[in-house]
A and B are shown apart, each in its own frame.
Chain A
Amino acid sequence: SQKIEQNSEALNIQEGKTATLTCNYTNYSPAYLQWYRQDPGRGPVFLLLIRENEKEKRKERLKVTFDTTLKQSLFHITASQPADSATYLCVSTRGSGGSYIPTFGRGTSLIVHP
């Protein structure tokens, strides 16, 4: 079955460092991947989308890569701040014939220490 996998262990880093989160997918080839941020008790917020024909996408301090050979997307936050502490979700879609069925990874919790 199609799977999206994220490291379930929390990532602890020091303020100012670059945080790198990993998303791996198996048994299918998504046309794109999305990254969302979720704070406790809140709904997810869209951050970035990257398509399979794009190697890299940037938005301010955020960068996403998509490696179709490794079946992996990396999400980077440069110059991290304590306010970046949250859970980051990797999202793909499944379905055929134009159908759109979201599939979420479990999310990786990022903790940025001051």
Chain B
Amino acid sequence: GAVVSQHPSWVICKSGTSVKIECRSLDFQATTMFWYRQFPKQSLMLMATSNEGSKATYEQGVEKDKFLINHASLTLSTLTVTSAHPEDSSFYICSARVTGETQYFGPGTRLLVL
């Protein structure tokens, strides 16, 4: 149980285009989903917290107009990187939380912006 999927697993796009990443909890309903970004040899940096049916809460320094988060249901959250640029290239990981302290992570999405 507690499986989280992400799609796509990797994506290459041209600078200026938008990319959408989906995060799904497959066998449970998540009250909260988190989006992280991870650069090589760095830790996970929390970008935003997403609660179903409400606006996402963004961490300081994360542009909410650039990283659009939609949490339309208890099993799906999406992250859209708008007008992507090479500096947005990174490993994006989502996680889901039901209640309690444990997060269940997706496998990650590697984004490369050319």
Closest A residue to B93 by CB, please name it. Answer: A43
For chain B, residues 16 to 57, give those with C-beta under 8 angstroms from any C-beta of chain A.
32, 34, 42-46, 49
What CA separation (Å) do A104 and B46 show in the bound complex? 9
B46 touches A102 (CB 8 A): yes
B107 touches A34 (CB 8 A): no
Select one of B43, B49, B103 contacting A46, CB under 8 A. Answer: B103
Closest A residue to B103 by CB, please name it. Answer: A102
Q: Is the interface of A mostly helix, strand, loop or mixed?
A: strand
Q: Is the interface of B mostly helix, strand, loop or mixed?
A: strand
What CA separation (Å) do A100 and B102 show in the bound complex? 11
Shortest Cβ distance from A114 into chain B, in angstroms?
24
Cβ–Cβ < 8 Å partners of A103 in chain B: 46
B44 touches A44 (CB 8 A): yes
Chain A, residues 56-97, CB within 8 Å of chain B (1/0): the string is 000000000000000000000000000000000100010000
Select one of B32, B49, B91, B95 contacting A41, CB under 8 A. Answer: B91
Chain A: how many interface residues by the 8 Å CB criterion?
Answer: 20
B108 touches A100 (CB 8 A): no
B43 touches A106 (CB 8 A): yes
Q: Does B67 have its Cβ within 8 Å of any Cβ on chain A? A: no
Closest B residue to A49 by CB, please name it. Answer: B101
Cβ–Cβ < 8 Å partners of B110 in chain A: 41
B108 touches A41 (CB 8 A): yes
Shortest Cβ distance from A19 into chain B, in angstroms?
19
Closest B residue to A107 by CB, please name it. Answer: B43
Cβ–Cβ < 8 Å partners of A45 in chain B: 105
Most interface-central of A43, A45, A101, A103 (chain B CB within 10 A):
A43
What CA separation (Å) do A89 and B105 show in the bound complex? 13
Q: Does B71 have its Cβ within 8 Å of any Cβ on chain A? A: no
6 contacts between A and B (CB under 8 A): A32-B101, A42-B107, A43-B4, A43-B105, A46-B103, A106-B43
Q: A49-B102, A104-B46 given; name 4 further pairs at CB < 8 Å.
A: A36-B105, A44-B95, A89-B43, A100-B101
Chain A residues with CB under 8 Å of chain B are 32, 34, 36, 41-46, 49, 89, 93, 100-107
